[in-house]
Structure 1
Amino acid sequence: MTADAFEPKTFDIPEFRLQKGQLMRDVTLAYRTLGTLAPDRDNVVLITHGYTSGPQMIDPGAAVGEGSWNALVGPGKPVDTNRYFAIAANMLGSSYGSTNAASFDPVSRRRYGPRFPDITVSDIIATQRLLLAQHGIDKLVAIVGPSYGGYQAFQWAVDYPDTVKGIAPVVTSPSVPRERSEGRVARLRASLSQHPNWNGGDYYDAGGVLETLIEIRVAVLKTYGTEARLRDTMSDPAEIEAAIRDEATKWAKGFDANSMIILAKALRTFDVTAQFAKIRAKVLYVLSRTDELFPPELAATVMPALKAAGVDADYLLLDSEYGHSASGRDAHKWAPCLRAFMESLG
């Protein structure tokens, strides 16, 4: 089986039972692939994307917050698609093709909107597991992903410990304090509710909430280290601010505001630290020196806890000025480490 990253595909799940018990019908998962699936299906690498990006993160020059991973996934690259079959799946509840708040509920025949069911990170990866099963895949060489993608990698390792040889969670953490996720949800709702079209999240027939979404994205990009990236080619502060707004506008036109809330709510119960002993996979944990969201101090607690649980884990501090965008923007700085990690998995 061969495929191209520029040919997004969809996988349909007739019925999906959520962790909290609710049944969703006609769930769609969008995904992209690169490489050739081996006859015995033992060469699969799952690429998990961040909070506000999608499978397009593996495309050349992808304009995603965490930076394009095209330098890391592809022919001859650390996740070498001459050897591995890479699958990048769009999260349940996210934009870019999977079932989300803008989708029509087959039962009510109206958009889910704010009525989209409460999902968990375990639900997100369970849909990925069904996607893999559809391809006859029951084992993974590795799961590699930044930010929210790292949450997924950690969750995979504890939910399905015998299915994966290695995980590389990057600029991320194995837990999110509940107050942090609750705070994010509250801030998002407070900001979005200021838009006259908000209507409690039922804004689809009223023209959307684009302007407010742009403002939210501008603030997010600044925490991602975008200003440092733009200073490589720009010096005028006004020019940099305009470039950030332009990038934010392009993103806001393709992402649904409710998806931000859905995925933030899914983190309210995310914490796998007490389950480290379940992990059988080898771990490569990567943080960025200048990341405001996941500072390098996290390693001082995460790494000893992994070791104490008997997990084979290595840590890399990425020396980058690009903050949360470092994994893509400075891919060359940690590509050799990722390549060695992949080789170590056999």
Structure 2
Amino acid sequence: MTVRTRVLVLVSAVAVLAAVGLASVLHASARAERRDRARPGGPAVAAGPVDLAAGQRRMVFRNLAWGPHRDELTTVAASDPGGPRTASGVKCLRFYAASGTGVCLQAVHGPVSDTYRALILDARLRTRAHYAVPGIPSRARVSPSGRFAAWTAFVGGDSYAGTDFSTRAAIVDTRTGELIPSLETFRIVRDGRPYRAADANFWGVTFAPDDRTFYATLATKGRTHLVRGDLRTRTVTTLHPNVECPSLSPDGTRVAYKKRVEGLPKDAPWRLYVLDLRSMRETPLAERRSVDDQAVWKDGRTLVYALPGDFGADLYETPADGTGTPRRISNSAVSPAFLD
């Protein structure tokens, strides 16, 4: 091959790479433009004040409706969850709030790859503190008093459906800033005996009102367990098998969770259940679809959770006693928190 031929080949290759790069940029730009356009028939969303302070009962959540406010925290009256939305300008992948404190899990977009962080928000959605999150955000919770916040991230794999994944569950004291970066440092008591295993894995924290007790999922040896944790003694104790993503009821007597049910597809194996913590009796709920979410208690009688929808996810509710029929309450929404 002559020098001239080599130069022509090199120039052609550079031209092809430039064309591919330009096409990628134009495609990304067009996709972003589509995301910024509201879709006909979608929910009404407008910018306005959003806060987490006590007041009228309302629902705050991540808005998934196409348009300029997609991914922002938005609010609606709890009595009208499908009504007009007020958007805050704060974007989150996962969110939760209680007693004027919020936790917002965000992506930080870089030139090569994204990183993630957890923001602790005050009642006006101002950032009080931020912490690095070691993987893709998955779950978020705040204790009823607002004293503690927790989050879970995938650090290996990206789905709970299989077994080839690893998570990190962290808890932070929002008053002192003390961070517990992983529950894997806690002492485990399983079936009344100390337990240690290299594959111990935690996710889905939910808090009791006493600012000491929490519940979470422990996975080890291919099985999952509900555990009760103690923040003072740094101990977790197994309570019940086959529990994932627990959510404690407002009165602290029941836990809602997703349970793997035999005979269902491997990528959609869960049904919603509620466990009575005193009797350890579990009740299957009326929702028959697979729910890959950490359900939220709307009140002492009703659970709210996300299912896949046309633009990401929609919110549904179902009675917590196993009766009734599930119903959709909000389109293009995820990560709700009910505030008084």
Bucket of the pairwise TM-score, normalised by the shorter protein: under 0.3
Q: Which has the larger radius of gyration?
A: 2
Which one has a larger percent helix, Structure 1 or Structure 2? Answer: 1
Higher percent of residues as strand: 2
TM-score normalised by the chain length of structure 1 = 0.27
Structure-2-length-normalised TM-score: 0.27
- The one of the two structures with greater contact order (alpha-carbon pairs below 8 A, sep at least 6) is 1
